Amino acid sequence: MSTASRVLSGSAASWAQIGVTMVSQIALVPIYLSHWSVITYGIWLSTYALISILSIVDFGHQEFLGYEFLRIGKENNHELSNYLWSGIFINILINLAEVLLIVILINTNSLDFLISKAKNTDTTLIHDAGLVLLFQSFTWPVFGIAGIFFRALAPYGHSPRMFWWNFLTAIVNSAAPITAVIFGADLLTTGLITACAITIFNIPIYIDLFFLARKEKIKFSKPSWALGSYNFVRSLAIFGKVLLENVRQQGVRLFLAPLSGATGLVAFSTMRTGANVALQGLRTITNPLMPELVRFLHQRDQDRVDASFGIIWIMVVALIAPAIVVLQAVVEPLYTIWTRGQVPFDSLLFAILSLAILVYAVAQPAMAVVIGNNMLGPQVVLPALAAFIVIAGLFILVPSNGILGAGVALLLAEIAAAIGYKTVAKRWLETNDLRWPRQPFSIAVMSIWIAAFAMGAMTQLPHMKWMILLVAIALFSWNFWRYWQILPAFATKRIRKLLMNLPGARKMQPVDQLSD
């Protein structure tokens, strides 16, 4: 399979996954609020925020091994097998430690503070939330081993296949709890059904992984404690980075629960759904591109690096930024229907959260340079800075400004992180005889300014929102034209290639056959 075909197949799977996630998120809120109280739903959100935090050690270990597998490559099966099975052994130990931590949290009544601020919250709900945590922890070895295998098969060109498995997993992960709730399940039963469904669904995944590993001659290798523990210690930097990034992405829910209560958490989470959908849509482009971008960086191939950056930024300039502004104009009545009028809409908070996602999107190429080269120092320092800004902002701004203060804290953190990643990436590129694409980056940043102007004007002059929207669309069109004019020929050819190979479009030659 050619480079273009792999990227397209991975992107198609990722787009399918974002479609499932988007539909489930849109359907999720009214279904939950129709069958559960706001307090119960808030505790459910807090529980899953805590799950995402507790599983980060496991995820960071997997991410580190993934880049080690790409470094080793498919030419050295023996070394790759050693890393694979040593990593699986350490992964199981990590999961056991995580289960033990959850048991400690339950028995020390720590969940009362972590999950709900309200003093009159039913203790049965907190108890059930603890059991849901425990159920989910039992699935982590199932996910963890499969996740390591997924990454080990990436050097062999099987990433698109793994993305399709992730798509099907997203369906099960979304459908199981929603179906349970529709049929009258309470919080505890919903958590149990979700854990069982995911475990059962992983059976065919493991069968497929077994046959793929045998096809690629990836044999069992006796786990090495020395190698596994060495890689685990090195992966702690990734764990720290993911943990700190989670603070400003999903983990902020964990801090909002004790600061604003379950009701405030529900309001913030529902308001952020549109921004999360945009973020997931962005990842459908960046995730399939990452293995290729790392290869281009190592080859010092400036044209293909520019093309990869260009694909990400053109999504911001041409699609994500305009779509967010359009959504700002039409979202309020839809939001009221969607939440059944139980969660008030805050147009300014919605705009701030959307801007935070745009800043994060524009910083993606810089983050790809840092992450793809396993630059562990910046991956810890920069998320730590952003996490500090978020946490300090929450404690300073939320008591006086409510959940709007949480949105401001997130936006400030994203700006600080973006500046830091861009600085580090630019320095690395220059050190390695590459250059940072200054002009395309500036135009991508201009799309953020246009969106900020438009959404800010809409919040202050709602009666003029349609005129503001027309002006914004005109400015976005002008900015897109500027962006397209300065892209190098190779980048425009590659973007056209990817667009023409989308479903229903005319087939063309593979990207890696394009002339430079």
Of residues 224, 208, 235, the one with CA closest to residue 62? 235
pLDDT at 92: 92
Q: Are 449 and 283 in contact (CB under 8 A)?
A: no
Q: Are 146 and 213 in contact (CB under 8 A)?
A: no
Rounded to two decimals, the pTM is: 0.66
- Tokens 């399918």 belong to residue: 16
Identify the DSSP state of 319. Answer: I
pLDDT at 464: 93
pLDDT at 506: 44
Backbone phi, then psi, for 339, in 5-degree steps? Answer: -95, 5
Q: Are 408 and 401 in contact (CB under 8 A)?
A: yes
476, with CB counted inside 10 A (0-12, 13-18, 19+), is buried
Of residues 232, 214, 262, the one with CA closest to residue 49? 262
pLDDT at 84: 93
pLDDT at 72: 87
What is the identity of the amino acid at 485? Q
Of residues 297, 273, 290, the one with CA closest to residue 354? 273
474, with CB counted inside 10 A (0-12, 13-18, 19+), is exposed
pLDDT at 217: 87
Which residues of the chain are modeled with pLDDT < 50? 2-4, 7-8, 118-119, 502-516
pLDDT at 2: 47
**Taking the chain, what is the end-to-end CA distance rounded to the nearest angstrom?**
21
pLDDT at 504: 47
